[in-house]
Amino acid sequence: MSEPTTEAVEAAKPVTEILPKQLWSDPIGYIQEHQEIITGVCVDIVIAILILVIGWLVAKMVAKICLSVMNKAKVEPTISKFISNILKYAVIAFAVTACLSQLGIQTASFVAIIGAASFAVAMSLQGSLSNFAAGVILLIFRPIKVGEFVEVAGHQGVVEEITIFTTSLITGDNKVIIIPNSAVSAGSITNYSRMDTRRVDFVFGVEYGSDLKKVRDTLKSVFKSDDRILKDKDLTIVVGALNTSSVDFTCRVWVKNADYWGVFFDTNEKVYNALRAAGIGIPFQTVTVVNQK
């Protein structure tokens, strides 16, 4: 068996053998002899405790002021709470470092250890930190908001929640899609709800030989009869293309954002019925089968 180390032997001794014998035999004399040292140590301990207490109070005050200022500036609650907590713990860390320094403890190695540990954690959580940074950007600049219909990262839906790490969408068929914030901010964002009005585009094909003026008047009557279509915006009805089997009319109207899909679906049905009633043919693909014997 190996011999016990000096540290192990010292640790195994009673406290009365480790501390100076004079402290046990003549404590008053020992205190009087080392009065300056003991007084200095006690003063350092009291100052260190005061630094911790004051640091804690200052940290709470800084966090409260920061949260109040950001709430008045209408910053997203999630980001305001996060920033106030970061400031709070930063002040506490500074107070702890100052306390250790007051007690004569070297803080350089302590700070180096914390820095190395922070670097290791940052490397292991690289993906999460990327999502976190993207979440901060989304919450500050707010390209999308809760309740808006958007298209992000190849998905469409209503924004249900934006957190520090993820964004949740609810699709039209009531599915919840959770997207990492890094994917949201890395690509293009289409926000369908931000503007008050939207343009609805239609393409209607009619047979060659149709009276184009009659077609245009028929389409115009359909659009004019719908009160949801904004009358103060331009109404566009033009021949957009001459295809192989149809003359295509391109039509553009403006509606309120909430009326977009209702106008889109209703107008398709109304135009079909109006063209048929006006005797205007709508081309469709046909297949000719030749039976060769």
221 is written with which tokens? 């009557």
Confidence grade of residue 203 (pLDDT, cut at 50, 70, 90): very high
Identify which of 191, 166, 185 has the alpha carbon closest to the alpha carbon of residue 177. Answer: 166
The residue ranking higher by pLDDT, 130 or 260, is 260
The predicted-structure confidence for 60-98, as pLDDT tens digits, reads as follows 998 899 888 878 877 667 667 777 877 888 888 888 888
Provide mean pLDDT across the span 229-239: 95
The predicted-structure confidence for 3-32, as pLDDT tens digits, reads as follows 555 554 444 445 445 455 555 555 666 566
Strands 247-256 and 236-242, sheet pairing: antiparallel
Distances in Å between the alpha carbon of 161 and those of 130, 146, 158, 169, 240? 18, 6, 9, 7, 41
Provide mean pLDDT across the span 212-220: 96
Amino acid residing at 124: S
C-alpha span between 206 and 196 (Å, rounded): 33
The predicted-structure confidence for 102-120, as pLDDT tens digits, reads as follows 777 776 666 676 676 666 6
Provide mean pLDDT across the span 162-177: 92
pLDDT of residue 19: 52
The predicted-structure confidence for 120-163, as pLDDT tens digits, reads as follows 655 555 566 788 888 888 877 889 998 999 999 999 999 998 88
Q: What is the pTM of this model?
A: 0.61
Q: Residue 18: in which H helix or E strand, if any?
A: helix 15-18
Residue 273 CA neighbour count, 13 Å, CB half: 7
The predicted-structure confidence for 182-202, as pLDDT tens digits, reads as follows 999 888 999 999 999 999 999
